Structure 1
Amino acid sequence: MNSDDDIPIPENEDDDPQRSAAEIAAMVERLWSAAQSHEARLGLLHERLGRLEAEEESNPQPVARWLTFPAPPAAEDAEHQGETPLFTIACFVHYYNEVYVGRTGSRAVAIPDCWLNHPGLLAEIATLTYTWRAAHLGRHANVRDAQYWHDRWRPAFAERLATEWTHPHCLTATHKQVGASDLKDRYTE
């Protein structure tokens, strides 16, 4: 026997199961219906995505439900494009002084007007500002971060404000240099 003998000889082609034209037409119809269904779903998803993108463009920093006062203006807001982070920080200082100043004699004192003259204080206010924004604004804002900010970041900042960054005169009257001398920030020309 040679290798040619191992090749199977096809049987009568009339015995092969063949699909009738009706069966093929039914299969095509089912595939067409499935394709139409998928196209409709894709169309709905495309519309929904368009609405979400438009909403995000019109309100890129949605305010958290628990924020009871309007958020301070920021350089990151569309209407303040071109402003520097110092604008954001200055607006937050104003907001902080309106919202977070406590009773007389407590550590919850106002940030002094001379905050720009205290480099360590400015550095800390900058991080305080942006942690507040992250906790209260945008899609990733959450109540746990907001509560953590109020429970940890703000009180610790208030403590250092009163004990480390400023002279007592700065908190009650006029600026008095203490600690690091004035430094030029990277945003002021």
Structure 2
Amino acid sequence: MKHNDHQDPGVAAQQAVAGLARTVETVSRDVAALKGGMRNAASAGEVARLATIVSELGDLMTHAPAKRGGTAGEGKDKPEPIRSWLTLAEDETAVQAVLSELLPWLQTVFLRYSDARDGVPPCWLWHPEIVEELLWLMDAWTAAYQGPEASNKLVGDWHDRQRPGVTRRVAAYAPGCDALAHRDPADQVAVTVPLAIDADPFVTWWATNRDHNGPAPTKEQVKAGRRGGLAAVSDTAGGHR
């Protein structure tokens, strides 16, 4: 029995097992016949063939590829992480490397589409969420056109779904925004999580009493966590606003 490189190892193993079963059955009949005093010259050959099949079957199972879904890293290389502008290393070289790819791609590919030119605001570099969208769209374009699995199907998906989706979201992130809107002091924190410092009561609520309403917000929490501060709500404790 010889393994065909073009044959699925699992199918080959099943065929080998089936052949082994047939051979064992034949040998069993030969042994029974010998015990009854009958001569069977083929028995030695059958035993030798059985040994060969067992050896080849063991070799086949040893070199069979690991099943998908096994232990991480077993039988395959660890996949490359998808790069993200939002979690990019705080390193000027890393940032420069990304922009050195993204800027020419925007010029050559993305901004060739009129809806893209209309949707990308002049201040797009001030908006990390916009850079993030454009970065993954560029990487998707590269995979579709130039990657090892490039195909017309991936290209079609990029045109039909991915590019229009990113173009639509980018236009919605900063409608009417321009560079003049970005005159805030440079040392201000760009993003804060509302009420993050007051999370402890919510931990207790969700861990012990989630079937009831959560803790009522204080005036200080409302001021910190809602646009308009205290003026945005009535002067009452708890309840819906």
Provide TM-score, normalisation by structure 1.
0.43
